[in-house]
Amino acid sequence: MADIVSFRALRYDPPHVDVSRAVTQPYDKITPAMQEGYYAASPYNLVRIILGRRGEGDGPGNNVYTRAASDFAKWRREGILRQDESPSIYSYSQRFTAPGSTAELERRGFIAAGRIEDYAARIVHRHEQTLAKPKADRLDLLRATRAHFGQIFMLYEDAGGIDRTMVAAQYKPEVEVQDEYGVVHRVWQIADPKIIGSVREQMRDKKLIIADGHHRYETALNYRNEQRAESGREGGNAPYEYVMMTFVNMNSPGLVVLPTHRVVHGLENFAVESFQQSARAHFDVEEMDSDIDGLRAAELLRERGSSGTALLAVSRDRALLLHRPKSASPLLNTLSPRQQALDVVQLHKCLLEDVLQLSEESIRNQQNLAYLRDANEALERVRANKANIAFLMNPCKMQQVRDIAFAGEVMPQKSTDFYPKLLSGLTVYALE
């Protein structure tokens, strides 16, 4: 089933560069302010490769992709990035406190090169939809640099044997950095062929779920297909047949999924009274304290959502709890029972599309929709008249993600937010 192999990672060389000032959050989590901060942090910060600044004079011969390739080649020549001598896998630990919690957790996994599989093979499973534009951007970068700089976050199911194998090989970590969210990331190189062989064997019967990195995985898949067409060969062990992945046990107590709230803006004729009336066709609607804050909203949703769907709709001066969905909505008839049970599907189909009349295309393009992790930020936007209405949600359960993915189904975009993110630049997988 899952085929993982060791590889000789390129890694920042500490005598030449402060690793903590060179690694970044994943490219799609980097805001413009973060981009500027990364540029200022180090001349070797990875942002220059994975999300470079665009210029007014950019053209075919000088653009973000050509500059990324030039910087990458230069850093390799100068020893900023050095390649490990032995093929290895890399144990990866993240210690963190989840937003809204005080408990310290640890999520363990390992970095390796995983074989790229077509979804039809039912070895790698997606759980969210993807968009064409981000994949085109990542493909241009991959073509220019011929390297993977961030890991795709993969989930597997295991009783803990792989984690125990990895921990037995750990001594002092070779990399230890703290990111801007206070998460401590530690990496150990494991070059012992016996340990690598044991991990490979334990992974052979696993099915994989993409937790984060759907666009990057499908980019790697598209690039693999391009290279196969060019070479006239399929299969084999060419470097482009693999992509860098971090593997985490989905039964890990350190696996945290956060909710992603929706904020609707730019609706000219929005009226909360009309929304409330229309929403009653789909849910029981209960008036809540209009001054509710993010912490109390999370508590309320957790309590009311323990037995089914619960959503909190908040406008400038109203807060409405939507729960106990009305049965057999025709809007959900084409979906499986697994999907019908998802809060995010109920929200998208019944409220965004039916009540607010947002088209699927406008939702995909985020024309009137913003996604926010922080509930208080969502509340602030509507109370400051910067948005019409905010929908606060419970996180999706890991079991739901598993069941949807293994059934070959997908959820709407931004259905899950696995926390914390994997840092980019801890290891680099070069295809040549």
What residue spans define the domains of the chain? Answer: 4-256+419-430, 260-394
Q: Cβ of 257: how many Cβ atoms within 10 Å?
A: 19
**Beta-ladder partners of 246:** 111, 153
pTM (predicted TM-score): 0.93
Residues 355 and 282 sit within 8 Å (Cβ to Cβ): yes
Whole-number pLDDT of residue 166: 82
Q: What's the count of helices (H) and strands (E) in the chain, helices before strands?
A: 14, 21
Pure H helices in 146-266: 161-167, 193-203, 214-231
CA angle 228, 154, 244 (to 5 degrees): 45
Q: Which pLDDT score is estimated for 328?
A: 62
pLDDT tens string, the chain, 432 residues long: the values are 899 999 999 999 999 999 999 999 999 999 999 999 999 999 999 999 999 999 878 898 899 999 999 999 999 999 999 999 999 999 999 999 999 889 999 999 999 999 999 999 999 999 988 877 889 999 999 999 999 999 999 999 999 899 888 876 667 899 999 999 999 999 999 999 999 999 999 999 999 999 999 999 999 999 999 999 999 998 899 999 999 999 999 999 899 999 999 999 999 999 999 999 999 999 999 999 999 999 999 999 999 999 899 999 999 999 999 999 987 677 888 889 999 999 999 999 999 999 999 998 898 888 999 999 999 999 999 999 999 999 999 999 999 999 999 999 999 888 999 999 999 999 999 999
In sequence order, the 6+-apart residues with CB closer than 8 A to the CB of 8 are 83, 84, 85, 86, 87, 88
pLDDT attached to residue 169: 65
Both structure tokens of 23 = 């690694």
Side-chain-side CA neighbours of residue 62 (13 Å):
4
* β pairing state of 208-212 and 124-125: parallel
Between CA 65 and CA 44 the distance in angstroms is 16
- Look at residues 14, 28, 20 and name the one whose alpha carbon lies nearest to residue 153: 28
Looking up tokens 């085929």, which residue turns up? 3
Q: Which are the contacts of 198, defined by CB distance < 8 A and separation ≥ 6?
A: 165
DSSP symbol at 386: S
The Cα-based distances of 75 to 55, 84, 137 in angstroms read: 22, 15, 22
Rounded CA Rg of the chain: 23
E strands, 78-202, are 81-83, 89-97, 104-115, 124-125, 147-148, 152-156, 175-178, 184-190
Which of these, 25, 20, 52, lies nearest to 39 by C-alpha position? Answer: 52
CA distances from 125 to 6, 26, 129, 418 (A): 22, 21, 12, 16
Say what the pLDDT of residue 104 is: 96
The token duo for 132 is 């064409």
Which H or E element spans position 69? helix 64-77
Residue 65 DSSP class: H
Query: How far is residue 96's CA from residue 420's CA, in Å, rounded to a whole number?
Result: 8
